[in-house]
Chain A
Amino acid sequence: MTQRRPPRVVMPGPVEWLRDNLFSSPLNALLTVLALFLVYWIVVPFFQWAIVDAAWSGTTREACLARENGACWPFIIQRIDQFIYGFYDLAQRWRVDLTLAGLAAGLMWLTLPGLPAKRGVGAVMLTAFPVVAFVLLVGGVGLERVPTERWGGLIITLVVAVVGIVASLPLGILLALGRRSELPVVKGLSVAFIEFWRGVPLITVLFMAANMLPLFMGVSVNKLLAALIAVALFSSAYMAEVIRGGLQAIPKGQYEAAAAMGLGYWQSMIFIILPQALRLSLPNIVGNFIGLLKDTSLVSIIGFFDLLGIAQAGTADAAWATPNTALTGYAFVGAVYWAMCFSMSRYSKHLEGVLASGEKR
């Protein structure tokens, strides 16, 4: 009998790791080299510009002019208040801080795993919080009014995005159900609504809401309110189609089992069909949210100083005229958007995992 040797346990060295992961085949090797080139051509110069050659200290454009090959961070640092609050009254900014803190706390509570009473917190965030946030930001009830024309920066971006997101999900669900309804009137209206909003670019909708409506109808609507309604309706049409996709994937047997047990239409939708359909469309729903968040930057075109608007205003300011101001402004705004979108994307991935863990088929 031959003696069996125990298998050698060797930790793969760096060379083995490289061979196994980066150069396992000629194609793989080629892609690795290509990727390295990309890093060299794009990432390295960007890093050089944004970090190494950048101006970091100073309070005026002179500091940036001295470092003409790098980013002009003093521009951001000096104007960070504008990027967050726009032109919101200085003495009242604590109200914005409070709102943002509430939003952040609520979102963290809802998204971090392991925290209790998520349902209750969710209910508060959807009912009480919007009212409190509205009063805090707008004013009233003893608080000084801050006209929406003075809002700007991150608050405009967040208000438009959050309102759009929160309104478009339920509206989208109703529209999707309406489109699949057996009642011809409900179905017809839903289809007409969805196809109308999907057929027009958001920018024209915003323009109409901001300028045409007051002109034609002779009513003066708050421009922010008009934009909010436009964004909510616009995104609900897209949301409806995403959710309809999920609804179509639910087998007929689910409807039949629910009906056979005596559940009514709304009961089967709420307890049986929608939970499954929404889960199936979760990646697309979050995709829509991300699209919506980025689309909020279009409000800068109708005269709002959202994140992007503030950056643009800054670049036009003679006091900060440097070759790198605009680039720095856009890079910063891009990074802020990216951070928000990436967080949503990661959270959606996490949620998919949680939801899938229970009911693996």
Chain B
Amino acid sequence: MSGNGASAVEIQGLNKWFKAFHVLKDINLTVARRERVVICGPSGSGKSTLIRCINALEPHQEGKIIVEGVPLSEEVGQVEAVRANVGMVFQQFNLFPHLTALENCTLAPMWVKKMPKAKAEALAMQYLERVHIPEQANKYPGQLSGGQQQRVAIARALTMEPRIMLFDEPTSALDPEMIKEVLETMVELAETGMTMLVVTHEMGFARTVANRIVFMDFGEIVEIAPPEEFFTNPKSGRTKEFLGQILR
């Protein structure tokens, strides 16, 4: 297809099954560089599964996924090559509890990119400053608030200097007062031009930050539209119904 290297993620004819359960049905989605795509939809619609296919945390059975020009395939090294370009932030933070915030951030640069320790630490501090918690660098995750933990997780992903960031409901496990600080960090990240795929129910974030919104239901992409159109003039009845429930 296009293959001109202009797109960050290309997904063509993606199908995935969990045993007999058809979880992703014929997904086609192209994300341009520097584009910000928000994915929403009811629980169980396959949003997490879709973005987890992009960095091969989930294997898929049919279709093509090309990330920054690298096709995800069984070939040795391909998965690692893709993961080197893709950072991920999880709903449950998944920080390493036995390492300090700083160590969480330096681990991958040191061992995947073979960076010297001092350089990795300088880099990690730079990103911890970017997410506004340099003073927490030497604390363990258990000593941080949820919002702080999620910001460390964002910094940790950024220290690998990925070209694409995947977010799977990054604020869903947070108390309301902490949601804001994490969303602000994400807005700032968007302003740097990072390609972002964000699964979220934060419609305010979607409205202001997203270039396009993808609505999924029952494993299908039902609708893709710019926020303006998505919120004011949704085409599908299922989208309307979903928006009706979520926006009230």
Query: Looking at the complex, which of A23-31, A196-204, A250-258 is the stretch in contact with chain B?
Result: A250-258
> How far apart sit A275 and B104, CA to CA, in the bound complex (Å)?
14
* A263 and B92 form a contact (CB under 8 A): no
* B157 and A261 form a contact (CB under 8 A): yes
Given contacts A254-B94, A257-B94, A260-B86, are A360 and B142 in contact (CB under 8 A)?
yes
* B143 and A360 form a contact (CB under 8 A): yes
Min distance, Cβ A235 to any Cβ of chain B, angstroms = 26
Min distance, Cβ A354 to any Cβ of chain B, angstroms = 13
Most chain B C-beta atoms within 10 Å of own C-beta, residue among A257, A258, A267, A359: A257
* B80 interface neighbour in A253, A256, A262, A279, Cβ under 8 Å: A262
Q: Is A346 close to B, CB under 8 A?
A: no
* A263 interface neighbour in B94, B111, B140, B143, Cβ under 8 Å: B111
CB contacts (< 8 Å) of A360 on chain B: these are 140, 142-143
Q: Is B41 close to A, CB under 8 A?
A: no
Q: Is B87 close to A, CB under 8 A?
A: yes
* B98 and A276 form a contact (CB under 8 A): yes
Given contacts A262-B112, A271-B107, are A257 and B142 in contact (CB under 8 A)?
no
Given contacts A276-B98, A359-B97, are A261 and B142 in contact (CB under 8 A)?
no
* A260 interface neighbour in B88, B140, B141, Cβ under 8 Å: B88
Q: Is B83 close to A, CB under 8 A?
A: yes
* B111 and A267 form a contact (CB under 8 A): yes
Q: Is B15 close to A, CB under 8 A?
A: no
Q: Is A5 close to B, CB under 8 A?
A: no
Mark interface residues in B141-153 (1 if CB within 8 Å of A CB, else 0): 1110000000000
Q: Is B57 close to A, CB under 8 A?
A: yes
* B140 and A358 form a contact (CB under 8 A): yes
> How far apart sit A259 and B107, CA to CA, in the bound complex (Å)?
12
What count of chain B residues pass the 8 Å CB interface test? 26
Most chain A C-beta atoms within 10 Å of own C-beta, residue among B80, B87, B96: B96
* Chain B residue nearest in CB terms to A257: B94
CB contacts (< 8 Å) of A272 on chain B: these are 96, 107
Q: Is B90 close to A, CB under 8 A?
A: yes
> How far apart sit A279 and B96, CA to CA, in the bound complex (Å)?
13
Q: Is B200 close to A, CB under 8 A?
A: no
* B87 and A260 form a contact (CB under 8 A): yes
Min distance, Cβ A58 to any Cβ of chain B, angstroms = 57
> How far apart sit A260 and B58, CA to CA, in the bound complex (Å)?
11
Min distance, Cβ B163 to any Cβ of chain A, angstroms = 13
CB contacts (< 8 Å) of B57 on chain A: these are 256, 259-260
Given contacts A359-B141, A360-B143, are A264 and B80 in contact (CB under 8 A)?
yes
CB contacts (< 8 Å) of A259 on chain B: these are 57, 83
> How far apart sit A22 and B4, CA to CA, in the bound complex (Å)?
82
> How far apart sit A263 and B140, CA to CA, in the bound complex (Å)?
21
- A89-142 contacts to B (CB < 8 Å): none
Mark interface residues in B126-161 (1 if CB within 8 Å of A CB, else 0): 000000000000001111000000000000110010
Mark interface residues in A224-260 (1 if CB within 8 Å of B CB, else 0): 0000000000000000000000000001011011111
- B83-111 contacts to A (CB < 8 Å): 83-84, 86-88, 90, 92, 94-98, 107-108, 111
* B98 interface neighbour in A257, A263, A359, Cβ under 8 Å: A359
> How far apart sit A99 and B62, CA to CA, in the bound complex (Å)?
63
> How far apart sit A264 and B108, CA to CA, in the bound complex (Å)?
10
* B111 interface neighbour in A271, A276, A279, Cβ under 8 Å: A271
CB contacts (< 8 Å) of B143 on chain A: these are 359-360
> How far apart sit A264 and B84, CA to CA, in the bound complex (Å)?
12
> How far apart sit A272 and B80, CA to CA, in the bound complex (Å)?
18
Given contacts A254-B96, A262-B108, A263-B111, are A359 and B142 in contact (CB under 8 A)?
yes
> How far apart sit A358 and B99, CA to CA, in the bound complex (Å)?
9
CB contacts (< 8 Å) of B112 on chain A: these are 261-263, 267
CB contacts (< 8 Å) of B87 on chain A: these are 260-261
Given contacts A262-B160, A263-B108, A359-B141, are A257 and B90 in contact (CB under 8 A)?
yes
* B98 and A279 form a contact (CB under 8 A): yes
CB contacts (< 8 Å) of A8 on chain B: these are none
* A253 and B94 form a contact (CB under 8 A): yes
Given contacts A262-B112, A359-B142, are A275 and B98 in contact (CB under 8 A)?
yes
* A261 and B156 form a contact (CB under 8 A): yes
Q: Is A361 close to B, CB under 8 A?
A: yes
Mark interface residues in A255-290 (1 if CB within 8 Å of B CB, else 0): 011111111100100011001100100000000000
Q: Is B171 close to A, CB under 8 A?
A: no
Q: Is B239 close to A, CB under 8 A?
A: no
* B80 and A261 form a contact (CB under 8 A): no
- A283-307 contacts to B (CB < 8 Å): none
CB contacts (< 8 Å) of B195 on chain A: these are none
Q: List 10 A-B residue pairs with CB atoms under 8 Å apart, sorted by A's residue number.
A: A251-B92, A253-B94, A257-B90, A259-B83, A262-B80, A262-B84, A279-B98, A359-B97, A360-B140, A361-B142
- A sample of 11 more A-B contacts (CB under 8 A), given A257-B90, A260-B55, is A253-B94, A261-B87, A261-B108, A262-B83, A263-B111, A276-B98, A358-B98, A359-B98, A359-B141, A361-B97, A361-B142
Q: What is the interface of chain A, defined by CB distance below 8 A to chain B?
A: 251, 253-254, 256-264, 267, 271-272, 275-276, 279, 358-361
Q: Which 10 A-B pairs have the closest CB atoms?
A: A257-B94, A253-B94, A261-B108, A361-B142, A260-B88, A359-B140, A262-B112, A262-B83, A359-B142, A275-B98
